[in-house]
Structure 1
Amino acid sequence: MLNTKLKPVTLFSSNDEGAPVLSASAGSLKALLKACLVTGYGNKTALGWEMPFEEANAAVFRSQSPESTRFCFKINQPQQRVCTLQAFRAMSSLTAGTGEFGYTGNYQKFGLVESGRAKQDSWWLIGHDGAFLLMIGDNRGSEVAMLFFGDVPTVVPNDTGNCMFLHSSSSSYDYFNTSSLYFVTGGGSNRAYMGKRWDNTELGAECELHSLLAGSGLGATYPDKITGGLSASEVYIFERNNGLNLRGLLSGVYRTAHNLQDLPNGTSVPLDGTSDVFLKFRLGYSGSDNYFLINATQWEVNNG
């Protein structure tokens, strides 16, 4: 069973005073992550991560929380609009790491600025000192590219590998591939990765994401014709290791059953029974119904 507690998160966005601009230039996403995770900007305090290794267009980020796995996230962006993302259990330099987990080959590439554009007008980063979620809005206002890295709640006692790494983009960005294109819950086409397998084997674990609201019946009118509100459900992580096994929870992320296309990305959407702030995002690709809410107030984390 999941044994969790709630942890406050901080919302950073392109609308903040002094927020970094996500441009097509080499190194721009590294600079944005550095500002949100390490240095802060304007009146925003950073999440308290460290950056043990850095060059002009590349860096390694790592949580400093004693409760964290302290696994490493590397970004390298020597060219415009596209970067390479990698995850390691440990790194001794910017180019030397052990225990790599996650995407391989071209699937490591992440499109962050749309083709032909000099910058992206909107982005949001939400997180705490152990995990963060970045959303980059396309300039049509229809969908977002996203990146998640950090520790998640898990059903495994004394889990030492519960670091999640996933990303997705869209066909409007300068680079995308069909493996990391979709952030889909309910199907085997999506890919997400954990730092170790559930039995703590020193191998990365390929995972699927599932929600009670994935599948048929999606796309209901919002507000709901019967309740006048909205339905949302948690997103759970299933590890592909001798079958599909429940591993944990993608904290802060909720799948909705309703079509929220008329709400701009980043819009606050009320949920009954809570005063938490939930922001709407459309993750995936044009024509999909992958509408999600991201909790911008607090996330569940392992309790001990």
Structure 2
Amino acid sequence: MASLPRIYRSTDPGAPQLSGVAGSLVALLDAVLVNGYGVGADVKPGAGWVRTFSATNKRVYRNNHVDGSGGYLRVEEPSATPGYAYARAYETMSDIDTGTGAAPTAGQSTNGILLLKSSENNGSSRPWEVVATDQAMYLFVNYHILPASNAYATIPAFPFFAGDIESFVPGDKSHFMVGGNTMVTPVNTYGDGLLYSTSVLGAVMPNGVSCYALRSYTQLPGSAALYLASPSHGVNGAAIGSGGVVFPDPVSGGALFERPLMKEGAYLARGYLPGAYSPLHARPFSSGEILTDLDAFPGKTFYVKWFNVLNSNSPSAANQYAGQFLIDLSGKW
């Protein structure tokens, strides 16, 4: 049976530390996805993924193959550039470097999806959080260490996602997706990313795709490019939860939400981003806040997560660059 979401943090007792040292990210993923960490009352079990292959600074993980797709996630940390890593999904894998049905393909992204670890190639620790089930995970990393006076000091840049989206295709087994950002190497600027540059559902697919599923909704072989769609927000080129209606909503007196969609083209909604809800307001809640029994969601518990789409040591305060979404902790994704 699919597991409920669990929050993992770098501040947890016994949690692995992430840094600019090669191997620190896969050690973190080993602990979070597979082995767990901590002792006694502080123990946190792994999310329920399986580590299928392992080599120096490389890992292959597989999500739940019974309730989920059983998709494979390959992560590699290049020794020459230990401040970041690359990820790619596969339909099958026979060893650490060999697989079929890659997403993205080499033609879509030469090295795969970039994962930011640290702006420094040393052992200085970086704050991180993961929210995961046995089918999907969100990874947040504070790539830069900013002064406490900076409004973005605790806001991670470019969240990374791997796992099954909530597909609209009956019996879909190719809905395993990886998504992060469009950068090839880190640059001190912004770029399209998983939760940024939303596209109106009816618009054609834009440039700058940063999310890929194993196959299209047609189920024909070949990696499918996906893009975040905001059905009612109606804003192109802005982070979800970065603007919209004033808060509280002047009509209802409360908060308005929607489910972010992943689309494959104009009016081609593949499914929901799992466990995610987007406020139709500009960051109405505090980062890290736990929300329970909201009017529209009785009995549900949500975790509020802010994010930035700037990879910089002095990020802009422009509203469209800082977003917010809610992650459902009370239900299976």
Contact 2:164 2:274 in 1 (8 A): no
CA distance in 1, matches of 2:160, 2:139: 5
Corresponding residue for residue 258 of structure 2? 233
Quick one: structure 1 residues 221 and 120, their matched pair in 2 at CA, closer, same or farther if it must change by over 3 Å? farther
Alignment pair present for 1:201 and 2:220: yes
Aligned residues: 293
Corresponding residue for residue 41 of structure 1? 37
Alignment pair present for 1:127 and 2:132: yes
Quick one: structure 1 residues 113 and 214, their matched pair in 2 at CA, closer, same or farther if it must change by over 3 Å? farther
Corresponding residue for residue 235 of structure 2? 215
Corresponding residue for residue 96 of structure 2? 94
Deviation at 1:174, TM superposition (A): 6.4
Which residue identity does 1:245 align to in structure 2?
L
SS in 2 for 1:35: helix
Contact 1:256 1:292 in 2 (8 A): yes
Stretches of structure 1 that go unaligned for 5 or more consecutive residues are: none
Deviation at 1:254, TM superposition (A): 1.7
Quick one: structure 1 residues 256 and 116, their matched pair in 2 at CA, closer, same or farther if it must change by over 3 Å? farther
Q: Provide TM-score, normalisation by structure 1.
A: 0.83
**Post-superposition CA distance 1:225-263 (Å, at most 9, x none):** 6655432211111113xx541111111112222222883
Alignment pair present for 1:63 and 2:85: no
SS in 2 for 1:100: coil
Deviation at 1:89, TM superposition (A): 0.8
Contact 1:279 1:296 in 2 (8 A): no
Stretches of structure 2 that go unaligned for 5 or more consecutive residues are: 146-152, 201-205, 237-241, 311-315
Corresponding residue for residue 74 of structure 1? 74
Quick one: structure 1 residues 59 and 123, their matched pair in 2 at CA, closer, same or farther if it must change by over 3 Å? same
Quick one: structure 1 residues 112 and 181, their matched pair in 2 at CA, closer, same or farther if it must change by over 3 Å? farther
Q: Any runs of at least 4 consecutive aligned residues in structure 1 with deviations exceeding 6 A, and if so which?
A: 174-177
Corresponding residue for residue 159 of structure 1? 172
Alignment pair present for 1:31 and 2:27: yes
Q: Provide TM-score, normalisation by structure 2.
A: 0.77
Deviates more, 1:178-187 or 1:190-199: 178-187
Contact 1:10 1:297 in 2 (8 A): no
CA distance in 2, matches of 1:175, 1:90: 35
Deviation at 1:221, TM superposition (A): 4.8
Quick one: structure 1 residues 17 and 224, their matched pair in 2 at CA, closer, same or farther if it must change by over 3 Å? farther
Q: What is the percentage of aligned positions where both structures have the same residue?
A: 25
Quick one: structure 1 residues 107 and 7, their matched pair in 2 at CA, closer, same or farther if it must change by over 3 Å? closer
Contact 2:16 2:31 in 1 (8 A): yes
Contact 1:184 1:284 in 2 (8 A): no
2:115 to 110, 117, 122: 110
